[in-house]
Structures are given as structure tokens and as C-alpha cells.
Amino acid sequence: QARDPEQKEFLQAVEEVLLSLKPVLAKHPEYCAVLERMCEPERQIMFRVPWLDDAGNIRVNRGYRVQFSSAIGPYKGGLRFHPTVSLSVIKFLGFEQCFKNALTTLPMGGGKGGTDFDPKGKSDNEVMRFCQSFMTELHRHIGSTTDVPAGDIGVGGREIGFLYGQYKRLQNEFTGVLTGKAMEWGGSNIRPEATGYGAVYFGLEILQDKGEDIKGKRCFISGSGNVAQYAAEKLIQLGAVVLTLSDSTGYVYEEDGFTMEQLKQVMEIKNVKRASLKEYSSPTGVYVAGQRCWNVDDKAHIALPCATQNEIEYEDAVKLVNKGVAMVLEGANMPSTNDAIAHFHKCGVVLAAAKACNAGGVAVSGLEMAQNACMSTWSSEQVDERLKVIMHDIFAASSGASKEYGVTLQEGANIAGFEKIAKAMIAQGCV
């Protein structure tokens, strides 16, 4: 706190982990010094990104790459393009990524990057010129065994393509330096679906443990981007009822649940037209402007925040509990404030923490790296099967730690991730 008092998102993420680790530090005081090092990134890079807009003006944004921890593998984590990006946001994401990657069972360290550039309203050519300029600086810091970025908010297939093209040109090599690539040039089956599907698979593990079925369960989903779309798709396939989807302008409510056709319409609006949910139209659907979907006048069993950080504040948590929500599957990173988490725990809501619940995306990115390294492509069925096994293993590790230390599932996930990194750091000495 003394070092970076103004980095509120980063401090929030650290506080959440520290609160969970109290029983571990009491049992293993030798971990205290490790934790202090773990909170300081190994390396932070900030750089200027100049680019030319369509009118011929030179514009400038700020780029970031925070290489947080290489204790258990190369730095790995996405790039976020959004006007709210700051060093604090990238550090919170990078810090969380370390624990998440440790939980995946794969050898990946943690990192995160991005920029305050806003792709919204920019032409394809502007986005391409921006990505090329961003990579012109970033390329000297990354590599297929050093640091492997991927997508995040504002970075989808189009941006990964432009970034990869520029990397290849500068390095003169075709390697798996980015994940989230298209199938024709080194991507993995199921990578676009992996985060949303993985969050639902994690929910299935929780329900199975309680002897419950997902069929007929009513769900609120926030967001309508990559994670939300595929969480919704998997839920609909499994017979659950998806009541809401949202974006930064408002939310859509379907009282009988979205059909696959209606979800396709949302995908078309967000992925092809790159427009707002205002454009959604169905005889049964209602669009509500300027509000979070947690305000919808309905009841549900499961909430899936899949948009952004701090989208469930204390007041939202109270509303969700009053609407009957008994399980929260965090698709987004740090979507719940620490007060909201405390309220969920107080009311007995099962909280599937982002580090565990949304780890399916980076896990399949790890599988994409493995396929690139051995110059092969695995089928959708193979990757989906690996994803299910990984989500099962993450649940087993999180619930195992929660039982061992007598804490919640959310705290158990933090503990399981932390112990793996701590052991590696102690073995590697003072680094």
C-alpha cells in the first residue's frame, strides 16, 4: 500500500488474496517473505504507441505489459484495449493471472498488458495501424518461451491477427507467441468458447457436488462479449434458462430465456456489426438502457458476471441475494467488490472466484501453445475433453484447500494457487 497508494484496483486484488491466506500464513510463516515478493511484479513495461488516424492525424496512446511472475512458466495473460486501462488495472489483472494460471495445472507464469486505446468507433485500418505500432514496441519483450500474450476486453480475433502479422514481420519467425489465433494460422479449436464454457463446467462441478442438476436453472448473465456469449451458449445447450445479457449501454431481458436464435442475433450485433444491444429486437425481449442487469425484476438461481471488474457492488449483491441467487460464477476478472464478496459469504451464496471459474480460457491458450510447439492440431472434441478435465481438477484443488483450511471455495482457490507458486519460488531461491 505504501508503495502504490493510488493503485486502487491493484490494492483491492491484493487485499482479497491476503484475506484468504491468513490461515495458510499462520501454518506456514515461511510463506510471508514469498508473499511480499509475489506482490511486486518482476518487470513492468510502459511505452508510447503513436498511430495515424484515417484523417492523417498522429494520435498517441499508452501501452503496458506487466510481467508479474515466471515462477512456474513463461509469463502468460491477455491484452486489454479499453479507455479505462491504467497501470493499476493491468497490475490487478496480472496479479490475479498468476494464481489462475497456477490453478490450470499447466506450466504458465502470469502477466497482463494493454492500452487505453478504444477500438470502438475506429475503422479496421485504424485498428490495424494501432496494433502494428503497439507490437513494434512489444515484440522485443515477448516470445513463445518468454511471454505469450492473448486477447481480453477489446482484443478479439481481428486484433490478434494484426498483432501477430506485425510480430512475424519483425521477428521473421512463425511461433506461438500469441494465443487466440485463427484456426488457419496456428489457433486451437475451442479457444473462443473456452472461458465461457469453462465457467459453466465449473458450475456443473459445484452442482454435482451438491447433487443438483443445471437443467431449468434460471441465470442472469452480464456482458455480451466473448465470455458472456459462450457461457450463454453452453447454458442453453444444457437446458438452463438465460434471462439477461448486457453491454456498456444497458441490458436485454428475455423472460422465458434466450433461444439459440436470439443468442445468434446478439453475436451478430456484437461481433459483426460491433454495435450496441439497443439494436436487439424480439417480440418477447425488453431492452433497458443505462442499467446493470442485476436490476431486472425477476428471480434466478445463478448469476454470471461476464463483463468487467467491480460490476457487482455491495448493493448489487444484496439485490441478487434477494432475487434468490445461490451461486455466482465469475466469468469476468474481479467482478465482485470485496464488500459484495463478504455479503455473499454471509448469506451462504457459493462464489466461484474468477481465478478458478474463468481459468478455462487461459487453460486452452496453454493447450494452443502445446499444439504450436509440436506443430499439430487437436480436434474440438479432444480440446473440449481436456478443458472439462482441467475445470474438474481446478474445482478439486480449490475445494480440497477449502476443506483443509476450513474456508470457502473462493478462499480455497486462492490458497491452492498460492501454494503452488510459493513452493516454486522457495525452490528457486532469492529471485
- Where along the sequence are the contacts to ligand NDP (CB under 6 A)? 151-154, 195, 223-227, 247-249, 270, 306-308, 331-333, 358, 361
Please identify, using beta-carbon distances, which residue of 74 and 78 lies nearer to ligand NDP.
78
100 known member of a binding site: yes
Cell 434458462 -> residue: 241
Q: Which residues on neighbouring strands pair with residue 62, listed in sequence order?
A: 48
- Shortest Cβ distance from residue 90 to ligand NDP (Å)? 11
- Shortest Cβ distance from residue 418 to ligand NDP (Å)? 19
* Nearest alpha carbon to residue 361 among 323, 322, 306: 306
Selecting among 112, 270, 323, 355, the annotated active-site residue is 112
End-to-end CA distance of the chain: 22
Instruction: Give one word for 310, left, alpha or beta, with left for phi > 0 and alpha for psi -120 to 50.
Output: left
Please identify, using beta-carbon distances, which residue of 35 and 103 lies nearer to ligand NDP.
103
Q: Name residues whose C-beta falls within 8 Å of residue 299's C-beta, 6 or more positions apart in sequence.
A: 218, 323, 324
Please identify, using beta-carbon distances, which residue of 224 and 398 lies nearer to ligand NDP.
224
Please check whether residue 247 is in contact with residue 258, taking contact to mean a CB–CB distance below 8 angstroms: no
Please check whether residue 374 is in contact with residue 367, taking contact to mean a CB–CB distance below 8 angstroms: no
Please identify, using beta-carbon distances, which residue of 121 and 429 lies nearer to ligand NDP.
121
- Strand 241-247's sheet: what is its strand order? 285-289, 250-254, 241-247, 218-222, 302-305, 327-329, 350-352
195 known member of a binding site: yes
E strand segments, 37-109? 43-52, 58-69, 75-81
Q: Which residues on neighbouring strands pair with residue 327, listed in sequence order?
A: 302, 350
97 known member of a binding site: yes
Please check whether residue 372 is in contact with residue 180, taking contact to mean a CB–CB distance below 8 angstroms: no
- Shortest Cβ distance from residue 213 to ligand NDP (Å)? 26
Position closest to ligand NDP via CB = 225
- Shortest Cβ distance from residue 2 to ligand NDP (Å)? 28
Residue 271 is given by DSSP the state: I
DSSP H/E element including 110? strand 110-115
365 known member of a binding site: yes
**Helices (DSSP H) in 28-156: which residue ranges?**
31-38, 87-103, 124-138
Please check whether residue 112 is in contact with residue 94, taking contact to mean a CB–CB distance below 8 angstroms: yes
Please check whether residue 85 is in contact with residue 119, taking contact to mean a CB–CB distance below 8 angstroms: no
Which set of grid coordinates corresponds to residue 203? 458450475
Please identify, using beta-carbon distances, which residue of 35 and 229 lies nearer to ligand NDP.
229
> Amino acid letter at 239?
G
Q: Name residues whose C-beta falls within 8 Å of residue 275's C-beta, 6 or more positions apart in sequence.
A: 269
- Shortest Cβ distance from residue 286 to ligand NDP (Å)? 18
Which set of grid coordinates corresponds to residue 113? 498488458
| Whether 112 is catalytic | yes
Q: Name residues whose C-beta falls within 8 Å of residue 282's C-beta, 6 or more positions apart in sequence.
A: 254, 262, 265
Please identify, using beta-carbon distances, which residue of 407 and 410 lies nearer to ligand NDP.
410
- Shortest Cβ distance from residue 106 to ligand NDP (Å)? 14
Please identify, using beta-carbon distances, which residue of 67 and 333 lies nearer to ligand NDP.
333
- Shortest Cβ distance from residue 426 to ligand NDP (Å)? 28
**Binding site per annotation, positions for substrate:** 76, 97, 100, 151, 365
Specify binding-site residues. 76, 97, 100, 151, 195, 226, 365
Q: Could you list the active site residues?
A: 112
Binding-site annotation, residues for NAD(+):
195, 226
